[in-house]
Structure 1
């Protein structure tokens, strides 16, 4: 009876949270675009609505339809989107800063570094560090150097571990070189991670100012990482995606957010979900909608089996089943043993909202996105106001993967021959070649179907047989400008980061399947805990942005304007946010 009452009180659609409403029309040409649906009181028996939406289906298959244009979308929790956004931005906001230690105090959200007038200096602590007290509640804090604690020993070796970690050294190899134990290496990686987070946050808080009035070309994609099995009796793998965005021009990586929360144990999550009645609700109406529960895993296995049957019988997949296809769980996969996995759709929604905060003062933004499930929705919900203005355009990009180098070179040769055919002579000038390419792409564009797929005949060695598609917009640019945008739509920036991640970190090197393992992928270098992926991803992102020098002698941070010169490993490891 209690389950029935909890179902009856579920709202028509998830209510908006912190002005976040991801359940609305996604068609920019519709006047109902991004208009919030009404959410009547679920306790009222007769719930008439005066909006331009209708809801169809029930439970997990419930969808929201626009009455004006017919576009539809599955329901997602706004509360879960907001919480996931806060999770991925927590380090960015709080790293290297001191907040009031009282959890119920108002100054828990106001740091001493940003709001010094909210705190009072109270002399020095016995350690010699500055002591401050909160003017609101009187709690006392010490501005300690976060790099130095009494429990740390042999920390001078952290610098060597940092260098080896981003240069293909594996854990036991680092332990042998430093004459330490694997346990000490894990502790060193934790310390390096905290330093990299504090350093990156300190620099990237300046990004909105550095990006003001700039034109951006941002590539967004997801990369899958595998966790080794820890029990021979259960050899299922854990696969977790990370949402990453990179500027194609400067190669600066804005974020690599793993769909994983290491601070929440699965047992505690399941207990909390059962206590608040989540097990009796559809996923979009749950208190913990962003996390994978055991019931989600079982439901995904059932849907995977249904998709397999449909594929065998050549039956088309219905709309209600496509939402789970972006992060499939099969009998060969399992949820992580430690920590809680997050639904990739919510990480995408949160990631684009994070980008919207960074790019708020940019002059123009062009997104090049892989065809991940839910990526168009995440882009539209975060950049709706800029899409309406016309200063933000999104493109879907696809190209042929798995081709051999000989085949790729053949395609590149065909592209060069095509350019020679257009010019009548061999073109060496970069701008002249791009002008000819854009003019040719302009002839391929249709006046009636501007959102068609456009095949680029000028193949790149890393992007063979590439095609691009403009995501529907209400303000269509001219054909000439659109041809240039198609030409520069590419995932090359984010693919380069993915390749560098696999090549630089032996921890994340792609596993090789063998016949002796019955096709199962396993490597002794891969992590057994997903929290380590979060750490090494952030460490490598810091190294990639601020330390790794390109062929032009600059780092991505120098090109984008948050660094004046290449940094050294010592600059990150000895960084102290409390010293100005």
Structure 2
């Protein structure tokens, strides 16, 4: 039954029954994100009535009705309590994308029957050894097994057993994460382009397998703690495939970073290499999806070719025109595979983070870029935790267009003001530290600022003010000058000291620092430099031509950063700081894993 199809009313007599038409997408089990996502609202997290009620009985008493307005991508639910509009999302699409991302993150090297039509194809030897029998050894001594169901044989050995020139693998990996272009890698390692690509595939799979095994216990690192996480996205450009029509295709690289250890919890790309956009278009046409609002479609996760083409032409009119597309022949954007819809990708990324982080923390604190819309996604996915005061969510904004000298001057001004106000409010700080003995000077000063800003009024007024207007942090830093913090989840469960501790730590600098590292270390992630003379028609010299390279290099860099790159005076990797590793993971450990 399709999303917009009418169904009989459950308890109505057959003769007088009226068809009920859905106005909201179906849930996936009990999973849904279509409700009021405003944590300050009394209807936060309460599912509205999913059916149209025109000329029928009113909504059940436990379900708010509210209005649905807009069409296509712009359909929104207006909460009848707070009046805020919430874009309607496809629950099915979010669940599908989360499944894709989580499958990647828990990928392990499990040997199964290679016959795709065999019943044992998805049954690993480790889980069901009785389904296989030993069948001798290969010429190199690797164990050979036979599937008892279809009699197909296969061997199990080191991950490197089918790789030629294995002595080059380490040099290739080091070159990839040290901004060496593919052509230079071929030259220095004396290998071919196909060999480089085969090594990238090998490294990608090894990084996924090693990290998947190790990070199955990542949630234990946060037991009883109050971790801070920062999330944002950067744009990675892939070269447009028609050279005489120069331009680029954007892919989103989203990352979530743990603040104190700098461990990258997740780094994902809004690109699915396994779905052809033209085949997707045919399936959507057959399902009648183009006649439905996007949130009600069967295939709502990905961009179909025609809509993606129109979107790119609309957003980049100075680079691509419809004549460009006609002259270029077959439209191949992003070249291979399909791009995931941005909002679906955001929700799925945060679902993955929720899974990896677990729920045994004392309080989890999420800081996101104010322009990303991620705060609503996190609130929708963690309703119970927000209501219990176990999750805080803040949007961070700051001045991003400043020069280095301007940011440095603001940082000097911020440090000067901080020292001056420590002296000016010394008496108030001392009194606050009597009231809250466990807080530091900076936190006590933050309590004073918050009380001056919010006033001593009731908590609901404070929560609404911090969620909408926010707090302008007066002590500028070079990384985040003129910062504003909008705390979306102050529902009266935090005292002034807890609120001050959050405000002094709230930042998205950890994820921004990781993105800067990504641009410095991966040649294909380098930002281009548009100029007025060429009307932005830039052919990015180091950008990848194949979009499949972006998620692979993002995965390799994440592993290298987390497990192999020691930083700071203590020369420890983020995994060591977090407790996931006792020491540096060496190349031999990665290459031989499994």
Fold shared, TM-score > 0.5 on shorter chain:
yes
| C-alpha distance in 1 between matches for 2:255 and 2:512 | 10
| C-alpha distance in 2 between matches for 1:342 and 1:442 | 41
| C-alpha distance in 2 between matches for 1:37 and 1:134 | 51
User: Is 1:383 matched with 2:382?
Assistant: yes
Within a 5 Å distance, the mapping from 1:177-256 to structure 2 comes to 177-256=188-267
| C-alpha distance in 2 between matches for 1:532 and 1:4 | 38
Residues 108 and 31 from structure 1, CA distance in 2 versus in 1: closer, same or farther, beyond 3 angstroms? Answer: farther
The corresponding residue for 2:575 is 557
The corresponding residue for 1:307 is none
| C-alpha distance in 2 between matches for 1:80 and 1:200 | 26
- The alpha-carbon deviation at position 272 of structure 1 amounts to 1.6
Deviations 1:498-518 (A, max 9, x none): 010000111211111134422
Within a 5 Å distance, the mapping from 1:165-180 to structure 2 comes to 165-180=176-191
Deviations 1:234-258 (A, max 9, x none): 3342111122100111100011111
Q: Is the 8 A contact 2:270 2:345 kept in 1?
A: yes
Q: Which moved more, 1:65-74 or 1:525-534?
A: 65-74
The corresponding residue for 2:450 is 442
User: Is 1:122 matched with 2:109?
Assistant: no
The corresponding residue for 2:434 is none
Could you tell me the TM-score, scaled by structure 2's length?
A: 0.83
| C-alpha distance in 2 between matches for 1:207 and 1:105 | 35
The corresponding residue for 1:310 is none
| C-alpha distance in 1 between matches for 2:4 and 2:476 | 58
The corresponding residue for 1:464 is 481
The corresponding residue for 1:318 is none
The corresponding residue for 2:173 is 162
Residues 356 and 172 from structure 1, CA distance in 2 versus in 1: closer, same or farther, beyond 3 angstroms? Answer: same
- The alpha-carbon deviation at position 329 of structure 1 amounts to 6.2
The corresponding residue for 1:271 is 282
Q: Which moved more, 1:251-260 or 1:281-290?
A: 281-290
| C-alpha distance in 2 between matches for 1:382 and 1:141 | 45
Q: Which moved more, 1:446-455 or 1:176-185?
A: 446-455
Q: CA RMSD in A?
A: 3.3
Within a 5 Å distance, the mapping from 1:7-156 to structure 2 comes to 11-40=22-51, 49-50=59-60, 51-60=63-72, 61-98=74-111, 112-113=125-126, 116=127, 119-120=130-131, 122-127=133-138, 129=142, 144-145=156-157, 147-150=159-162, 152-156=163-167
The size of the alignment, in residue pairs, is: 542
| C-alpha distance in 2 between matches for 1:9 and 1:205 | 44
Residues 554 and 281 from structure 1, CA distance in 2 versus in 1: closer, same or farther, beyond 3 angstroms? Answer: same
Within a 5 Å distance, the mapping from 1:261-300 to structure 2 comes to 261-297=272-308, 300=311
- The alpha-carbon deviation at position 299 of structure 1 amounts to 6.1
Within a 5 Å distance, the mapping from 1:356-395 to structure 2 comes to 356-359=354-357, 360-395=359-394
- The alpha-carbon deviation at position 298 of structure 1 amounts to 6.1
Deviations 1:72-123 (A, max 9, x none): 212111110010001111122233234576778998777554xx35754522
For structure 2, the residue ranges without an aligned partner over 5 or more in a row are 8-18, 321-331, 427-438
| C-alpha distance in 2 between matches for 1:467 and 1:529 | 39
Q: Is the 8 A contact 2:247 2:539 kept in 1?
A: no
Q: Is the 8 A contact 2:524 2:542 kept in 1?
A: yes
Residues 47 and 273 from structure 1, CA distance in 2 versus in 1: closer, same or farther, beyond 3 angstroms? Answer: farther
Q: Is the 8 A contact 1:445 1:479 kept in 2?
A: no
| C-alpha distance in 2 between matches for 1:300 and 1:109 | 39
Deviations 1:438-478 (A, max 9, x none): 34533444043331321112221211111111014434411
| C-alpha distance in 2 between matches for 1:23 and 1:93 | 28
Match of 2:541 among 499, 502, 524: 524
Q: Is the 8 A contact 2:179 2:520 kept in 1?
A: yes
| C-alpha distance in 2 between matches for 1:290 and 1:166 | 31
Larger Rg: 2
Residues 76 and 145 from structure 1, CA distance in 2 versus in 1: closer, same or farther, beyond 3 angstroms? Answer: farther
Match of 2:584 among 527, 550, 566: 566
Q: Is the 8 A contact 1:399 1:465 kept in 2?
A: yes
Match of 1:258 among 260, 264, 269: 269
Q: Which moved more, 1:7-16 or 1:383-392?
A: 7-16
| C-alpha distance in 2 between matches for 1:76 and 1:4 | 14
Within a 5 Å distance, the mapping from 1:374-453 to structure 2 comes to 374-424=373-423, 434-435=442-443, 437-446=445-454, 447=457, 448-450=461-463, 451=466, 452-453=469-470
| C-alpha distance in 2 between matches for 1:193 and 1:435 | 43
